[in-house]
Amino acid sequence: MHDFHYAGNELWCEDVPVAEIAGKTGTPFYLYSHRTLLNHYRTFDSAFGAIPHLVCFSVKSNSNIAILRIFAREGGGADIVSGGELYRALKAGVSPKRIVYSGVGKRIDEIEFALGSGILMFNVESSQELEQIDACAGRMRKKAGIAIRINPDVDPMTHPHISTGLKQNKFGIDIESSIREYRRARSLKNVNVIGVDCHIGSQLTDISPFIDALERLKELVRLLRGEGFQIRYLDIGGGLGITYNEEMPPHPEEYAKAIIENARDIDSTFILEPGRVIAGNAGILVSSVLYTKSNNEKNFVIVDAGMNDLIRPSLYSSYHAIQPVRKENREETVADIVGPICESGDFFAKGRLIPKLERGDLIAVMSAGAYGFSMSSNYNARPRAAEVMVKDGKYHVIRRREAYTDLTAKERIPAFLKK
Ligand code: LLP
């Protein structure tokens, strides 16, 4: 469900015509619906209402501080993977007591920042990291709350680049070795074992891999409790998929129901780390058609957004629906929708059946709210797009479009080149 819909021939975001915003801010820009974000968050959170739980929005999926603040105000936490994400979460007003920190490569300065901020727990991904966290906490005279990220070796049946819970993936520690690490953690003075964690992948459209992983985690929790560990938190990560095209992922309520049914015998607070399911369909990327051209083989529609703005099609061959912002009565055609970047991988759609587009037309690349702006770059020296949020009939720029001066703001010409 989302709040982008046609009224007459116009695409609207809630009760504001998308074209009106484009007229004011220029293109390309990301556009988010506040109502969709809030509904998605609340639906997800309340689906788990029957068990103690904490929803930690996955900051990597969309890290704009205005968006993070919406969830913080709802009492949500954050799943972070870097010092930068911690900085953003704190800046947005997320309580540090609701922040969990995953990632295989936490630097010492990042660990110190997190300890100093008083986050809830580190999801530890290696034996050496565990030692580092203990040492940092010792120096800072703090106790670090930790969970070990388990790699349960479950196939999430998703795109190989975004599956994380298989033995061949770099994430987490296998169950056998994790038992050794838990025992070792107990002997360390500056860490407090408080949880068990796992995240098996993203864009999952089936519940069974989640349940398989949960079964394995539960076994581990029982074993650890048998040894006297106090496992207060069971973090089952994020990963619930959304509809980009024809996928039929379980509704959050269905997902929660399955988890809750399997969680009855485990007395822990559940931590959930959803990203895509909250933000994905709450945002679109709006772009203008610059040119069209055809050769004997193909029709190309060249738009003013590029792979630097939305890299998902290039990186994962992901499908994003493309819709005209204004529906005109035009015949349909098959075309590649491409950006201005000097790479053949710079496309949003290939061989797509769409109503014929003309110069100046606006298009909406749908389902771009997660892993859209957050994965954008300045490649080809392109200033990053603006981000805009609609709420209650008004729109708000939540990140201004970058200017050329932003591109070079951090660069310096050394003295020897100034002469
Ligand atoms: N927790 C951890 C530890 C994660 O690594 C991730 C995502 C999440 C939670 C949130 O997963 P979600 O609920 O959004 O599926 N760039 C890729 C997705 C990469 C996901 C990385 N980890 C894409 O555009 O599809």
Tell me: the pLDDT tens digits for 61-114? 999 999 999 999 999 999 999 999 999 999 999 999 999 999 999 999 999 999
Q: What is the pTM of this model?
A: 0.97
- State the Cα torsion 187-190-193-196 to the nearest 10°: -110
- Told to judge if 342 belongs to the known catalytic residues of this protein, a careful annotator would answer yes
Q: Are 122 and 106 in contact (CB under 8 A)?
A: yes
| 140 Cα to the center of ligand 1, angstroms | 31
Query: Which stretches of the chain score pLDDT less than 70?
Result: 160-163
| 69 Cα to the center of ligand 1, angstroms | 19
Q: Are 195 and 146 in contact (CB under 8 A)?
A: yes
389 token code pair? 């949020």
We report the CATH number of the domain holding residue 28 as: 2.40.37.10
User: Domain containing 151: what range?
Assistant: 103-272
Query: 203 — alpha (psi -120 to 50), left (phi > 0) or beta?
Result: left
Query: 380 — alpha (psi -120 to 50), left (phi > 0) or beta?
Result: left
Confidence (pLDDT) at 162: 65
The reply to whether 227 and 291 lie within a common domain is no
Ligand 1 pocket: which of 37, 60, 204 to mutate (most atoms within 8 A of CB): 60
The reply to whether 260 and 138 lie within a common domain is yes
Spell out the residues 6+ positions from residue 246 whose beta carbon is closer than 8 angstroms to its own.
none
Please indicate, yes or no, if residue 314 is contained in any of the structural domains. yes
Rounded to whole angstroms, the Cα distance separating 4 from 32 reads 9
- The total of other beta-carbon atoms located within 10 Å of residue 22's CB is 20
The reply to whether 240 and 298 lie within a common domain is no
Please indicate, yes or no, if residue 67 is contained in any of the structural domains. no
Query: 118 — alpha (psi -120 to 50), left (phi > 0) or beta?
Result: left
Answer with the one of 214, 248, 272 that is the final residue of a domain.
272
The reply to whether 265 and 130 lie within a common domain is yes
Helix %, strand %, coil % of the chain (to 5): 35, 25, 40
144 token code pair? 């670090």
The reply to whether 250 and 343 lie within a common domain is no
Please indicate, yes or no, if residue 313 is contained in any of the structural domains. yes
The reply to whether 189 and 218 lie within a common domain is yes
Answer with the one of 252, 272, 292 that is the final residue of a domain.
272
Atom of ligand 1 nearest to the CA of 371: 24
Q: ∠315-68-255 over CA atoms, to 5°?
A: 70
The number of domains in the chain is: 2
Please indicate, yes or no, if residue 390 is contained in any of the structural domains. yes
Rounded to whole angstroms, the Cα distance separating 175 from 198 reads 11
The reply to whether 264 and 296 lie within a common domain is no
The reply to whether 363 and 322 lie within a common domain is yes
The reply to whether 339 and 247 lie within a common domain is no
We report the CATH number of the domain holding residue 133 as: 3.20.20.10
Nearest CA to ligand 1 atom 5: 199
| Nearest of 119, 126, 121 to residue 195 by alpha carbon | 121
Ligand 1 neighbours (beta carbon < 6 A): 58, 60-61, 79, 102, 162, 199, 202-203, 237-240, 273-277, 312, 316, 370-371, 375
The reply to whether 250 and 289 lie within a common domain is no
The reply to whether 286 and 241 lie within a common domain is no
Atom of ligand 1 nearest to the CA of 375: 16
| 278 Cα to the center of ligand 1, angstroms | 12
| 371 Cα to the center of ligand 1, angstroms | 8
Answer with the one of 224, 239, 272 that is the final residue of a domain.
272
